[in-house]
Amino acid sequence: MKKEGKKIKLSKEEFIYQVVISTVLVIVLICCVIPFLYVVGMSFTSEGEMIERNYFVIIPKKPILAAYSYLFTSTGFLAGLRVTFVRTVLGVVAALILSVPLGYTLAQENLPFKKSSMLFFIITMILSGGLIPSYMLMNKLHLLNTFWVYIVPGCANTYGILVVKLFVEGIPNDIMESADLDGASEIQKMIRIAIPLLKPTICALGLFAAVIHWNDWFTTMVYVRDAKYYPAQFIVRNLLTQSTSGEMMSNISTYARMTSKSMKMASVVVGVVPILCVYPFLQKYFISGMYTGSVKG
Amino acid sequence: MKNDVKQKFKKYRLLYPILIIGIIYYIIFMYIPILWGFIISFKNLKVGGTIASAPWVGLDNYRQVFADKEMLKLVKNTLTISVSRLVFSFIPPILLTICIFDLRNNAFKKISQTIVYIPHFFSWVVIYGIAFAFFSGDGFVNHVISLFNGGKTIDFMTSTKAFVPLLVGSQIWKEAGWGTILYFAALTSVNTELYEAAKIDGAGPIARIRAVTLPAMIPVITFSLIMSVGSILNNDFEQILLFYNAAVYDVGDIIDTWVYRVGLGKMQYGIGSAVNMMKALVSMVLIVFTNSFSKKVTGRGMF
């Protein structure tokens, strides 16, 4: 890193360079933010204003909430958010409940069959049965069309096992040895020593699992038919891919009426806002988690 | 010696239940599907039949796959899409890393980092929604175009020409920022003295990038390049499943989407499994090979 804080006079070349990269970054940031703002704007735009402004509206003059009230009252979206919320919480538990103890176990230096056990787990990262046999398995286990199809298969978190193993191996030996002298069992050592030391890592793993669960729609598409188990993202997906949005209130002024597009955009907004709300608080965990993966995967 | 092993078993006796539960779980949820996929690919499994009762058909499913002209298209599309991804989405995170890393203004640096990471956390559904808002027949881009060419619009979402660029573009939008983290990790370990020395030598920004920054990034760049070659058969299936539609099957149908739509959807279990089996084996070989290659060249691998 360069020395910060010291005000050194920049050479002309350096100054030009700073201007260039700043400009590039400003453009990149605009490209990141504008699409989202446009979507937000659209979600508040009424049909009347769309027609008046020739279907090209970035910031509506008279924003309306019709799209949102339709979304929350007539599409099962609230129930979807509830499904998403519950599966996210349980999904995080599932992602950690096997991988943390397994990672700890596989980190033990003298564990008999350590190498072959590692191989057993790692193979599943590069070879999988694919959709067809998985579908049959879920059928056989009576998980098809149930809420638990979101949770139970999620205990397989091989990446988590590897990360936890790596970090437990990094715990200094003397800490573990002094616990041995105190007569602590392996389980006690795991719960009292390793897990507290691994808190940031476990947080990061949990957060990644939470994002996966929050964003998942594909599991529903393959395994779930029953609308009462639809998570929010799947409902958004359905709203986006259907060509018309069904019946819209017809006997009110066009300036209070939403378009099918504004309804679609409202669903997109509601799909990301929760993530945007928690992201600033959790950013450091995400990034430390990613660093972890990159130091030695 | 025997005693020694016994001792070890005794020491870890409480951990073995954990290991055994893990192994049983993985056998059920990971290995059984692999086994079933393998078996089904040699059987003629009909709807309502069971794997055990379905008749063996030897290599028939595989022969059918090779005879089917459709397959060639699938392989071609799979490779076209992933090679375009590789080529176009590889450079942006590197450039972005250098731009952010070299910024002098710390506040601006922090803000940039925070913002460019965000799209990574959007689901593909959301990204599809945003793409729809911009590129559909009455989307943002078409309104801009129609200002210039007198109201003619193009629906990019159903255009075969726009399909691959849309996939690659939306992937860059989603992942380029997040991709910088890997490179930042490499840059934080650079010796500051190198930058001091570069300054004393009177090196300008370009010389500095060439002499210090890039060399520090090269191992990670090589690593991620090799790894993306290894996963060349594994496209972002979810993304394609959202973006493609009947109008663009010609360019958008890849192996995975075909297995989903025809294999699972139209219940061609045997052929679907045969296709999947071949893909899984080829991609496993590729990943194992590139992984050991990467370990040799850069000293790091995925596992």
Supply the DSSP string of B87-124, one letter for each residue.
HHHHHHHHHHHHHHHH-S-HHHHHHHHHHHHGGGGS-H
Contact at CB, A268 and B129, closer than 8 angstroms: yes
Contact at CB, B117 and A102, closer than 8 angstroms: no
B212, two tokens:
């210090």
- Parts of chain B with a pLDDT under 50: none
Give the pLDDT confidence score for residue B1 in this predicted structure.
Answer: 53
For residue A112, list chain B residues with Cβ-Cβ distance below 8 A: 5, 8-9, 12
User: pLDDT band at residue A212, thresholds of 50, 70 and 90?
Assistant: very high
d(CA B57, CA B268) in angstroms, rounded, equals 14
pLDDT at A196 over 80: yes
A64, two tokens:
């309306």
Give the pLDDT confidence score for residue A296 in this predicted structure.
Answer: 43
pLDDT at A245 over 90: no
Distance between B187 CA and the closest CA of chain A, angstroms: 8
Interface test with A, best of B35, B99, B106, B123 (most A CBs within 10 A): B123
> Phi first, then psi: what are they for A183, rounded to 5°?
80, 25
pLDDT at A246 over 70: no
Residue B246 DSSP label: G
d(CA B44, CA B60) in angstroms, rounded, equals 9
For residue A234, list chain B residues with Cβ-Cβ distance below 8 A: 125
Residue A63: strand pairing partners = none
- Local structure of A47: helix, strand or coil: helix
With tokens 């080529």, the residue in question is B87
**In contact, B277 and B37? CB cutoff 8 Å:** yes
Mean pLDDT of all residues in A111-123: 92
**CA of A134: which chain B residue's CA is closest?**
B33
pLDDT > 90: percent of chain B? 58
d(CA A162, CA A140) in angstroms, rounded, equals 30
**In contact, A3 and B200? CB cutoff 8 Å:** no
For residue A111, list chain B residues with Cβ-Cβ distance below 8 A: 8, 12, 15
- A2-7 CB contacts, 8 Å cutoff, 24+ apart: A2/B104, A2/B192, A2/B195, A4/B104, A4/B106
d(CA B80, CA A177) in angstroms, rounded, equals 55
User: pLDDT band at residue A270, thresholds of 50, 70 and 90?
Assistant: very high
Residue B232 DSSP label: T
Model ipTM value? 0.89
Contact at CB, B123 and A35, closer than 8 angstroms: no
**CA of B143: which chain A residue's CA is closest?**
A56
Give the pLDDT confidence score for residue B30 in this predicted structure.
Answer: 96
User: pLDDT band at residue A230, thresholds of 50, 70 and 90?
Assistant: very high
Give the pLDDT confidence score for residue B100 in this predicted structure.
Answer: 95
Mean pLDDT of all residues in A1-10: 53
**Residue intervals in chain A for CATH 1.10.3720.10:** 77-228
Q: How many CA atoms lie within 13 A of B195 on its CB side?
A: 17
User: pLDDT band at residue A249, thresholds of 50, 70 and 90?
Assistant: low
d(CA B293, CA B223) in angstroms, rounded, equals 10
Among A203-212, A278-287, B287-296, where is mean pLDDT lowest?
A278-287
**CA of B126: which chain A residue's CA is closest?**
A268
For residue A279, list chain B residues with Cβ-Cβ distance below 8 A: 118, 121
Report the residue from B14, B103, B220 with minimal CB separation from A22: B103
For residue B188, list chain A residues with Cβ-Cβ distance below 8 A: 1
d(CA A111, CA A96) in angstroms, rounded, equals 22
Contact at CB, A124 and B31, closer than 8 angstroms: yes
User: pLDDT band at residue A55, thresholds of 50, 70 and 90?
Assistant: low
CA distance readout (Å), B243 to A194, A260, B159, B276? 44, 19, 11, 22
Give the pLDDT confidence score for residue B271 in this predicted structure.
Answer: 93
The structural domains of chain B, ordered by start, are 59-123+175-298 (1.10.3720.10)
Contact at CB, A29 and B115, closer than 8 angstroms: yes
What are the residues whose beta carbons fall under 8 Å from the beta carbon of A260, sequence distance 6 or more? A244, A245, A248
pLDDT tens profile B119-142: 999 999 999 999 998 998 878 888
Distance between B203 CA and the closest CA of chain A, angstroms: 10
Q: Name the burial class of residue A234, with classes exposed (0-12), middle (13-18) and buried (19+) by CB atoms within 10 angstroms of its CB.
A: buried
B105, two tokens:
């203004």
Q: Name the burial class of residue B65, with classes exposed (0-12), middle (13-18) and buried (19+) by CB atoms within 10 angstroms of its CB.
A: buried
Instruction: Report the candidate in B274, B256, B293 with the shortest Cα–Cα distance to residue B77.
Output: B256
Mean pLDDT of all residues in A204-229: 94
d(CA B272, CA B37) in angstroms, rounded, equals 9
**In contact, A32 and B120? CB cutoff 8 Å:** no
Mean pLDDT of all residues in A167-177: 88
What are the residues whose beta carbons fall under 8 Å from the beta carbon of B213, sequence distance 6 or more? B98, B101, B102, B187, B190
User: pLDDT band at residue A155, thresholds of 50, 70 and 90?
Assistant: very high
Distance between A9 CA and the closest CA of chain B, angstroms: 12
For residue A6, list chain B residues with Cβ-Cβ distance below 8 A: none
**In contact, B40 and B124? CB cutoff 8 Å:** no
With tokens 């590889």, the residue in question is B90
User: pLDDT band at residue A251, thresholds of 50, 70 and 90?
Assistant: low
B101-113 in b/e form (b: 16+ CB < 10 A) is: bbbbeeeebeebb
pLDDT tens profile B11-60: 888 899 999 999 999 999 999 999 999 999 999 988 778 888 889 999 99
Give the pLDDT confidence score for residue A88 in this predicted structure.
Answer: 96
Superfamily of domain A77-228: MetI-like (1.10.3720.10)
pLDDT at A244 over 60: no
The pTM is what?
Answer: 0.90
> Phi first, then psi: what are they for A46, rounded to 5°?
-85, 160
Interface test with B, best of A131, A165, A242, A265 (most B CBs within 10 A): A131
User: pLDDT band at residue A46, thresholds of 50, 70 and 90?
Assistant: confident
Among A62-66, A167-171, A290-294, B24-28, where is mean pLDDT lowest?
A290-294
- Local structure of B56: helix, strand or coil: strand
Give the pLDDT confidence score for residue A248 in this predicted structure.
Answer: 53
pLDDT at A20 over 90: yes
3-state helix, strand, coil in chain B (%, to 5): 80, 0, 20
pLDDT at A297 over 60: no
Report the residue from B9, B14, B112 with minimal CB separation from A112: B9
Mean pLDDT of all residues in A54-70: 81
Give the pLDDT confidence score for residue B50 in this predicted structure.
Answer: 86
Contact at CB, B129 and A264, closer than 8 angstroms: yes
Cα four-point dihedral sign B52, B58, B62, B67: negative
A19, two tokens:
């201007």
Interface test with A, best of B41, B45, B121 (most A CBs within 10 A): B121
Mean pLDDT of all residues in A225-248: 83
Residue B43 DSSP label: B
Residue B56: strand pairing partners = B43
B77: part of which helix (H) or strand (E)?
helix B69-102
Interface test with A, best of B51, B126, B254 (most A CBs within 10 A): B126
pLDDT at A171 over 70: yes
Give the pLDDT confidence score for residue A3 in this predicted structure.
Answer: 45
CA distance readout (Å), A93 to A98, A203, A245? 9, 11, 36
Rounded to 10 degrees, the C-alpha dihedral A152/A158/A159/A163 comes to: 110
pLDDT > 90: percent of chain A? 51
Report the residue from A13, A39, A98 with minimal CB separation from B204: A13
